[in-house]
A and B are shown apart, each in its own frame.
With several copies, the nearest count.
Chain A
Amino acid sequence: MPFQPHRPSRLDLLAAMVRIRAYEERIVAFHAQGPFPNVCTSVGQEAAAVGVVSALGPEDQILTNHRSAGHLLARGADPGRLLAEVMGRATGYCKGRSGTLHVSARELGVLLTSTIVGGELSLAPGVALTRTMLGGEGIVVCFFGDGAACEGIFHESLNLASVWNLPILYVCENNQWQAFVHRTETMVGDPIAAWAASYGMESRVVDGNDVEAVFDAACHAAGQVRATRRPYLLEATTYRQRGHMEPHDQSYVDPAEIEAWLAKDPISRLEARLLEGGELSLQGLQAIRSEAQAVMDEAAAFALASPFPDPAELTAHVYA
């Protein structure tokens, strides 16, 4: 019988988001200290990551892209090995070969991460095809951005997934920006969920900054995929609170837009809800935050202490 997600407590949801935020802020801090690999942070998009990933089971598989820290951490990735990968250390999930832009962690079911925008969309049908042909309950979740939806491969991927009845939950994190271009410069009308209709595919738009709403929508969507073994497109409306990548630059963004979205910050919203409802005290909140900081201190220490890969192994892993 298909997987049934158990509902995480609101405190757990908050803690998961806070941990992601703390991780990304640590990245930002490293940049402040000096040269550091360019990273695309997911600050502001924590609810989409936590809400969707919390609705998944151990057999499910995830494909993601260049902005993947939230997905990986929500899935249980070790922040130390993640930071180590960003820093190109041998202890990273990909032994330093990937760096920040294409972190895969097969042990977590996070597969084939590609930084080619649309790469995840091109690979997802094959992963789902294996599921379909070799059996197994799991579904495939494919995270992508509003920009990726403009790539031709979006059309090809969703069409094939529909024609072949592949169990894929497509999750579009519509964060309003595509690197240095605003979403409204690249599409007209009312995308992206609406585009699913072209493929006879069910879809829904959810407030991507409300983690509980995302969790509920993801449970429904994943349930549909499990039940029908057909694809589904979930669009999470959210916002990229920082520049496309670190070092931070939003000089090209309308400050009013930033302000409006900061007011809808997913973490602050849940915190407020919990504090109002008395489910959480200020001390409790402080505890969650400092616990996250402690985790990141440890992660940073681990990464910094980790060795770089041996150049003698430069050409290992090119061929199977």
Chain B
Amino acid sequence: MTFLTAQEAIDQALAEEMQRDSRVLMFGEGVATKRKHLLEAFGPQRVRNTPLAEGVIAGTAAGAAATGLRPVVDLLFAPFLCFAMDGIVNSAGKLGYMSGGQFQFPMVVLAMTGGGWGVGAQHNHNLEAWFVHSPGLKVVMPSTPADCKGLMKAAIRDDNPVLFFMDIGLAYAPGEVPGDGAIIPLGQAAIRRQGSDLTLISYAKTVHTCLEAAEALAAHGVSAEVLDLRSLKPLDEAAILASARKTGRVIVVHEAARLCGVGAEVAALVSERAFGSLKAPVVRITGPDAPVPSSFPLEQAFIPQVDAIVSAGLCLAGPSGTRALELQAMRGGWTPGA
């Protein structure tokens, strides 16, 4: 058990996997410069800087993956993926299927996103839902350094393209990481806190917001379970449905925009498959349908807040929950600014 930041945990995972499997290599803009220790350990063939060209970085990863390598590419910040969509979605996500199974794409695409640094909407845009919606891809977005390491190792060993989103707000927050090179399988959610009245479902930074909210709700006598999805695709439907059926009340929280986000999927899933168990509507607390502003106070206001979760939780779990909630929902739900 050691204390590492998320970035350090990812570096450890990369080093361990590159050590284990000589087909693993990493490239991207500044990868060889910023991950000097990897360069020194594995040499310039396997740790490469690239020109500024996200399109061909993604395409090259797909071409290399299909022919026997296991590339990890760092595309830096999620909005830059807009230059890499063809390689990821049209090639890596589809050519396995379109070729009748002739090719596999064991590759990992790493990108940061989320509030915390005030970098603005062209560096911070939570796009994970795009890739959940696209076929042939897997998507993870961890909330702890331990998960960063375990999920990165699993992503590298997976034979499919995996999008690995790192929440900026967590990048330098230290946490305990098991030394044993443990792997966290893709597609497994984690219950971060047991509860009986209400389930808070989230991923990445806002898992911690949910834990704070659960603490506050406990003070009000509401027992909230907190489920950390960890993987967004495959989604751990069993864990989601089990908790929803247990508590009968669900709030989904994420920083990404509300419309067609992961929260919409979770809410739809729960409402479709756990309908009989629901005591109240599934509520979404998300970032607004807006680009992320740079100004610090605005950026903070953009991110789902503890008190919004608490008040929604009280509406849901309180006696006259449903009515109060529908009224609130009429007013546009808990989306900031909405």
Instruction: Known contacts A102-B120, A180-B30, A186-B50; decide if A97 and B99 are in contact (CB<8 Å).
Output: yes
User: Interface readout for A242-267 with B: 1 if CB under 8 Å, 0 if not?
Assistant: 00000000001000000000000000
Which of B81-89, B148-156, B211-219 is the contact stretch? B81-89
Instruction: Known contacts A126-B60, A127-B67; decide if A317 and B97 are in contact (CB<8 Å).
Output: yes
In the complex formed, the residue of B with least CB distance to A105 is B102
Which of A16-24, A87-95, A201-209, A222-230 is the contact stretch? A87-95
User: Interface readout for A165-185 with B: 1 if CB under 8 Å, 0 if not?
Assistant: 000000000000011110001
Q: Which residues of A contact B100 (CB under 8 A)?
A: 92-98, 317
B298:A129 contact, CB within 8 angstroms: no
- Which of A123, A131, A133, A314 makes the CB contact (< 8 A) with B59? A123
- Which of B67, B98, B118 makes the CB contact (< 8 A) with A126? B67
B281 at the interface (CB under 8 A from A): no
Which of A50-58, A151-159, A231-239, A295-303 is the contact stretch? A151-159
- Which of B46, B91, B337 makes the CB contact (< 8 A) with A314? B337
B60:A160 contact, CB within 8 angstroms: yes
Q: Which residues of A contact B90 (CB under 8 A)?
A: 114, 116, 119
A97:B294 contact, CB within 8 angstroms: yes
A315 vs B69: C-alpha distance when bound (angstroms): 26
Total A-B pairs, Cβ < 8 A = 270
A88:B298 contact, CB within 8 angstroms: yes
B117 at the interface (CB under 8 A from A): yes
Q: Which residues of B contact A308 (CB under 8 A)?
A: 295-298
A61 vs B302: C-alpha distance when bound (angstroms): 33
A159:B51 contact, CB within 8 angstroms: yes
A79 at the interface (CB under 8 A from B): no
B53:A98 contact, CB within 8 angstroms: no
CB distance from A319 to the nearest CB of B (A): 5
B61 at the interface (CB under 8 A from A): yes
In the complex formed, the residue of B with least CB distance to A148 is B52
A147 at the interface (CB under 8 A from B): yes
Q: Which residues of A contact B298 (CB under 8 A)?
A: 88, 96-97, 308-309, 311, 314
A124 vs B86: C-alpha distance when bound (angstroms): 14
- Which of B65, B83, B291, B295 makes the CB contact (< 8 A) with A318? B291
B229 at the interface (CB under 8 A from A): no
A181 vs B52: C-alpha distance when bound (angstroms): 9
B69:A134 contact, CB within 8 angstroms: yes
- Which of B23, B103, B123 makes the CB contact (< 8 A) with A106? B103
- Which of B52, B60, B104, B337 makes the CB contact (< 8 A) with A151? B52
CB distance from B83 to the nearest CB of A (A): 7
B63:A180 contact, CB within 8 angstroms: no
A153:B29 contact, CB within 8 angstroms: no
A155 vs B59: C-alpha distance when bound (angstroms): 13
CB distance from A170 to the nearest CB of B (A): 13
Instruction: Known contacts A96-B293, A111-B66; decide if A318 and B60 are in contact (CB<8 Å).
Output: no
B295:A156 contact, CB within 8 angstroms: no
- Which of B30, B58, B64, B102 makes the CB contact (< 8 A) with A179? B30
Q: Place the interface of chain A in its size category.
A: 35 or more
A38:B119 contact, CB within 8 angstroms: yes
- Which of B45, B64, B117, B159 makes the CB contact (< 8 A) with A38? B117
- Which of B52, B120, B160 makes the CB contact (< 8 A) with A150? B52
A116 vs B58: C-alpha distance when bound (angstroms): 14
A187 at the interface (CB under 8 A from B): yes
A316 vs B293: C-alpha distance when bound (angstroms): 11
Q: Place the interface of chain B in its size category.
A: 35 or more
A180:B302 contact, CB within 8 angstroms: no
B68 at the interface (CB under 8 A from A): yes
- Which of B86, B95, B106, B293 makes the CB contact (< 8 A) with A104? B95
A89:B295 contact, CB within 8 angstroms: yes
A125 at the interface (CB under 8 A from B): yes
A187:B51 contact, CB within 8 angstroms: yes
A293 at the interface (CB under 8 A from B): no
CB distance from B320 to the nearest CB of A (A): 28
B59:A122 contact, CB within 8 angstroms: yes
Q: Which residues of B contact A134 (CB under 8 A)?
A: 23, 68-69
- Which of A101, A112, A156 makes the CB contact (< 8 A) with B55? A156
A267 vs B253: C-alpha distance when bound (angstroms): 52
A130 at the interface (CB under 8 A from B): yes
Within 8 A of A (CB), among B249-305: 288-291, 293-298, 300-302
B122:A111 contact, CB within 8 angstroms: no
- Which of A38, A122, A150 makes the CB contact (< 8 A) with B58? A122
A117 at the interface (CB under 8 A from B): yes
A95:B101 contact, CB within 8 angstroms: yes
A282 at the interface (CB under 8 A from B): no
CB distance from B18 to the nearest CB of A (A): 13
CB distance from A163 to the nearest CB of B (A): 6
CB distance from B41 to the nearest CB of A (A): 16
A97:B97 contact, CB within 8 angstroms: yes
A97:B63 contact, CB within 8 angstroms: no
A37 vs B49: C-alpha distance when bound (angstroms): 26
Q: Which residues of B contact A185 (CB under 8 A)?
A: 49, 51
Instruction: Known contacts A123-B91, A152-B55, A153-B56; decide if A320 and B160 are in contact (CB<8 Å).
Output: yes
In the complex formed, the residue of B with least CB distance to A123 is B63
B106:A320 contact, CB within 8 angstroms: yes
Question: What are 5 A-B pairs at a CB distance below 8 A?
Answer: A37-B294, A98-B100, A163-B51, A180-B33, A186-B50
Give me the interface of B with A, judged by CB distance under 8 Å.
Answer: 23, 25, 29-30, 33-34, 36, 45-46, 48-56, 58-69, 71, 79-80, 82-83, 86-87, 90-91, 95-106, 117-120, 122-123, 135-136, 159-160, 288-291, 293-298, 300-302, 336-338
The 4 lowest CB-CB distance pairs between A and B, nearest first, are A126-B63, A122-B59, A99-B294, A88-B295
- Contacts beyond the supplied A38-B117, A127-B63: 9 A-B pairs with Cβ under 8 Å: A102-B95, A106-B102, A111-B67, A115-B120, A126-B65, A179-B30, A252-B36, A311-B297, A314-B336
